[in-house]
């Protein structure tokens, strides 16, 4: 079991035939203005968990926790249990694609946030995890582009 990739985007949609539609892929930062707390624009997380052939059909636990710049956990906290699909095509490995829509995310500080993504097979006591970084910057400190004469 491995987390093949995990990233933020502006919007993610999984289709019924397991294709992924993504807008604003690999979103790594947002700018905020004014005084905290800030309401982040809607963003989404995509995590793909690749399994070995014999791991299909097993029960797994997925969790995701937002870690603030100070190292403490903050909302959201996401948990899901799922049964991994059994792959019937010999050349392919079973995989899971999990999306988490983050609407109404409140940010209390600028700095580097992380989404700690974890997948576990609790029966076998096996887990994998990764951190997905997301920077929040003070947009009011950005310099405006120079005006051009007309």
pLDDT in tens, 57-76: 999 999 999 999 999 999 99
Q: Which fold has domain 2-140?
A: Immunoglobulin-like (2.60.40)
Q: Which residues contact 73 (CB under 8 A, 6 or more apart)?
A: 65, 66, 67
> Would you place residue 21 in the very low, low, confident or very high pLDDT band (cuts 50, 70, 90)?
very high
User: Whole-model pTM?
Assistant: 0.84
pLDDT value at residue 134: 94
Tell me how far CA of residue 140 lies from CA of 30, 32, 41, 99, 107, in angstroms.
12, 7, 17, 31, 16
Mean pLDDT across the stretch 124-131?
96
Q: With left for phi above 0 and alpha for psi between -120 and 50, is residue 34 left, alpha or beta?
A: left
Q: How far is the C-alpha of 127 from the C-alpha of 52, rounded, in Å?
A: 14
pLDDT value at residue 142: 57
Q: What is the CA radius of gyration of the chain?
A: 18
pLDDT value at residue 125: 96
| Among 76, 54, 73, residue whose Cα is nearest residue 121 | 54
Q: Any idea which residue has 């079973």 for tokens?
A: 94
């Amino acid at each position: 079991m491995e987390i093949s990739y995990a990233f933020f985007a502006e919007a993610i949609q999984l289709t019924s035939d397991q294709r992924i539609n993504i807008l604003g892929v690999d979103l790594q930062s947002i700018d905020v203005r004014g005084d905290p707390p800030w309401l982040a624009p809607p963003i989404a997380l995509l995590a793909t968990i690749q399994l070995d052939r014999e791991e299909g059909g097993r029960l797994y636990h997925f969790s995701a926790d937002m870690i603030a710049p100070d190292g403490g956990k903050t909302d959201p906290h996401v948990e899901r249990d799922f049964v991994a699909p059994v792959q019937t095509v010999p050349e392919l490995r079973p995989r899971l694609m999990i999306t988490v829509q983050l609407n109404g995310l409140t940010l209390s500080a600028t700095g580097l946030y992380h989404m700690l993504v974890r997948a576990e097979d609790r029966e076998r006591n096996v887990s994998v995890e990764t951190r997905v970084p997301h920077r929040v910057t003070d947009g009011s400190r950005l310099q405006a582009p120079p005006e051009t004469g007309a």
